[in-house]
Amino acid sequence: MTGGEPSHRLALIDRSAYSSGLKAIANKVWEGKRISPAEGLLLFTEGEPGLLGMLADEIRKRKNGDAVYYIRNFHIEPTNICINNCLFCSFSHHHSHIKWELTEAEMVEKVEKADHSIRELHITGAVHPDRDIFYYGNLLKKIKAIRPGLHLKAYSAVELDYMLEKSHLGISEGLAWLKSCGLGSIPGGGAEIFDETLRKVLCGMKSSASTWLEIHENAHLLGIPSNATILYGHLEKPEHRIDHLERLRQLQDRTSGFNAFIPLKFRNSNNRMSDVAEVSVVEDMKMYAISRIYLDNFPHIKAYWPAVGRKLAQVSLAFGVDDLDGTIHDSTRIYSLAGAEDQNPVMTVSEMKDLILASKRIPVERDSLYQVVSGD
């Protein structure tokens, strides 16, 4: 943005309640400049929701106007049998009251029965001890044979790490083969929190932060885009969040391969961290806003509505969010098992549009790569 600042912005950033550091950050945002890790930390420790929302909203408008994106999608979660045993997990067989292991035929049948208006299939789940890259690659091939136009966003970096090792393939080699099988993009799951000390406590059996980043970087170099996430609201501190965002921002500088960033809220039901209180709605909105401000090279910030509920997802649109994910079709249990509000997550296209319009924004149906598509 160039030129003078509108008076209402000056009135806000010149309030005596704001430190000189916050005013300097606000001026950087108006000028389209990047903030530093120290400035990002200051936003977490001193930034008020009103200021953060205003700054994030400015960046959101600059990047995407008043568009709020959504997609017709559904999930397949192949199994919850997992080699890992993360403290925060409510999904795996270690903690869930249910246990499943879908067969290839059962997963193909789900695709056959899916509404043909659906544009994206998201495949992710636990890290099964017996399934390698060839199993999951052949699954992609069979799905593509049935629905060649369906975009397959499949397999988190943590799943990929295990299946590559089990199959004795290098990262680039394995990803290239999966791409030839029909892999279109990679979801952002498994990032959790990158700080090595904290990661060891929370999910020490899981792939390292460096491995997660290496897999995504290799995917980007092969023309496979991806998303990125953070799991927040547990044992982490603001400095851990900024460290996480900074590593993602650096990778995006190198590859430009990330489509969207998705803050994922820790939920404390049915896991070994039930004694950790969930963070407030104010903290949720701060996380969205600071993500939008800090990740200046990410085109989109997504609120995954099954994690926070419809109402809070709608509120997040005032804090830098421009994407609400999709229709879901009651096809995921990861957050419902952890105690999320929507126990059977499904939102019709009509409901999605109404929610967006009620926020004075423009509903825009997209494909997996954020190309605008017809709503027919």
271 pLDDT higher than 70: yes
Backbone conformation region of residue 76, classed left if phi is above 0, alpha if psi is from -120 to 50, else beta:
beta
Structure tokens at 76: 């397949």
Domain 65-365 has CATH 3.90.850.10: no
* pLDDT value of residue 273: 85
Q: What is the mean pLDDT of the chain?
A: 89
pLDDT band at 86 (very low <50, low <70, confident <90, very high): confident
Domain extents in the chain: 7-63, 65-365
221 pLDDT higher than 90: yes
* pLDDT value of residue 198: 96
Residues 6 or more apart in contact with residue 56 via CB below 8 angstroms: 288, 289, 290, 292, 293, 319, 320
pLDDT over 90 percentage in the chain: 73
Residue pair 302/261 in contact by the 8 Å Cβ criterion: yes
DSSP state letters, 240-278: HHHHHHHHHHHHHHHH--EEEEEEEE---TTSTTTTSPP
Mean pLDDT of 79-105: 77
Question: What pTM did the predictor assign?
Answer: 0.91
82 pLDDT higher than 50: yes
pLDDT digits (tens, 9 = 90+) for 281-307: 999 999 999 999 999 999 999 998 888
Residues 6 or more apart in contact with residue 3 via CB below 8 angstroms: none
pLDDT band at 69 (very low <50, low <70, confident <90, very high): very high
337 pLDDT higher than 50: no
pLDDT band at 89 (very low <50, low <70, confident <90, very high): confident
Q: For 55-59, which contacts have Cβ atoms below 8 Å and span 24 or more sequence positions?
A: 55/25, 55/26, 55/29, 55/289, 55/293, 56/288, 56/289, 56/290, 56/292, 56/293, 56/319, 56/320, 57/318, 57/319, 57/320, 58/1, 58/29, 58/30, 59/29, 59/292, 59/293, 59/296, 59/320
* pLDDT value of residue 197: 96
pLDDT digits (tens, 9 = 90+) for 235-260: 999 999 999 999 999 999 999 999 99
- 168 or 3, greater pLDDT: 168
CA 121, CA 305: separation in Å to the nearest integer? 17
